[in-house]
Amino acid sequence: MIFPNRKAIRPGTTRRVRQRGYNYSAAGYYFVTICTHERHSYFGVIENGEMTQSPAGAMVHDAIASIPDFHANTTIDAFVVMPNHVHILIGLAVRIEDIADETNLIDIVQWLKTTTHRRFGDGVKRLGWKPYSGKVWQSSFHDHIVRNERELGILRDYVANNVYRWGEDEFY
């Protein structure tokens, strides 16, 4: 587990998921994990250390890659689409010229979840994708505010090697 001090949360329980008082539009890097509803494996399968994406997985991949097209001053440093969750390392740049319209992490994740949910529904209706329960994503997501270059390197490595560690993954 990449965050060994993080306590496991029992299904059906809730806890505060955002850091109180933190400005999620602040420049820096954020590591985000979003799980599918009830951990359904909508996005593909991993066999022999290789992820084979379903059409839904390819759609989510493309949506993540397009985040900077829809959210100014945002970069996607690294990401991986897993069978039942995604990990994204998002960078937010300083935005001086338009403070009233700041990009923030919560809006980016909400955009991603809404966009992919709509596209998933279209895929089921028009392209014959495997039906789903009506929910693609869990209601919340996990974030980690990257504090320094060392953490950034660790997280880049984690994302790059996540598929190879699938059997050990807490979401497996």
Enumerate domains of the chain plus CATH numbers. 28-167 (3.30.70.1290)
Low-confidence ranges of the chain (pLDDT < 50): 1, 3-16
Query: pLDDT of 32-72, one tens digit each?
Result: 999 999 999 999 999 999 999 999 999 999 999 999 999 98
What type of residue is 133? S
State the pLDDT at residue 135.
94
Contact 132/120 with Cβ under 8 angstroms?
A: yes
Q: In what order do the strands lie in the sheet with 28-35?
A: 74-81, 85-92, 28-35, 142-145
Residue 53 buriedness (CB in 10 A; 0-12 / 13-18 / 19+)? middle
